[in-house]
Chain A
Amino acid sequence: GAVVSQHPSWVICKSGTSVKIECRSLDFQATTMFWYRQFPKQSLMLMATSNEGSKATYEQGVEKDKFLINHASLTLSTLTVTSAHPEDSSFYICSATKPPHSYNEQFFGPGTRLTVL
């Protein structure tokens, strides 16, 4: 199998606080994990790519100081939204690749709904 989990599944926080979202590969070691953001009725937008033990690569327009990504092990990556604001409210989805990389397939987590009040 290739199961990816996320925690929490939803979170509500006050503006100005920080929120941490975890992404775990449950039954495989993920060499690469991806973080996406999805706004209502839109498709997934890649935020960053992270490899275990190295700094994440952020997409253009994504603030690395605001969206902190840590990929400390082959089964866990975390996304921390620092000083969250209402415009950060979105659906955050992670994915992971499972070696060997047949077709570059990514296995997606169930997503985390973030609401910033």
Chain B
Amino acid sequence: KNQVEQSPQSLIILEGKNCTLQCNYTVSPFSNLRWYKQDTGRGPVSLTIMTFSENTKSNGRYTATLDADTKQSSLHITASQLSDSASYICVVSARNTDKLIFGTGTRLQVFP
């Protein structure tokens, strides 16, 4: 069964600190993995997209990694800001389908 699991479920950090969110997936055949940021009451916004051959991709303070062998991905946020408070969703796409498999998300709260 195609699944995407994320950890931790929620995370609280202080402004300026770094954090790392985890994503494990069992999706086959794998096409790509993406991280989205979803602010409360808003739609998801894409942060990074990685294919099988890519193992790291950055978007500003966000850096995603992908290990296709172990089927794990991480999202590292550097020097967190209050505006980083949101849910971060790991989404995996399988080949030959237009459907996405969503993780349950990590709720990040950044406090001053």
Contacts and interface: CB of A to CB of B under 8 A. Distances in A.
Contacts of A110: 42-43
Contacts of A32: 98
A43 B49 contact: no
B43 A93 contact: yes
Contact of A108 (B45, B49, B93, B104): B45
B35 interface: no
Given A32-B98, A43-B89, A46-B99, A108 B32 contact: no
A93 B93 CA distance: 18
The size class of the interface chain A forms with chain B is 20 to 34
Given A43-B102, A46-B99, A49-B98, A103 B49 contact: yes
Which of A44, A107, A111, A113 is packed against the most chain B CB atoms within 10 Å?
A44
B51 A103 contact: yes
Interface residues of B, number: 22
A91 B43 CA distance: 9
B42 A106 contact: no
A77 interface: no
A105 B89 CA distance: 15
Nearest to B36: A108
Nearest to A5: B43
A75 interface: no
Nearest to A59: B99
Interface in A90-117: 91, 93, 95, 97, 101, 103-111, 113
B102 to A, nearest CB: 4
A42 interface: yes
A103 B32 contact: yes
A95 B98 CA distance: 12
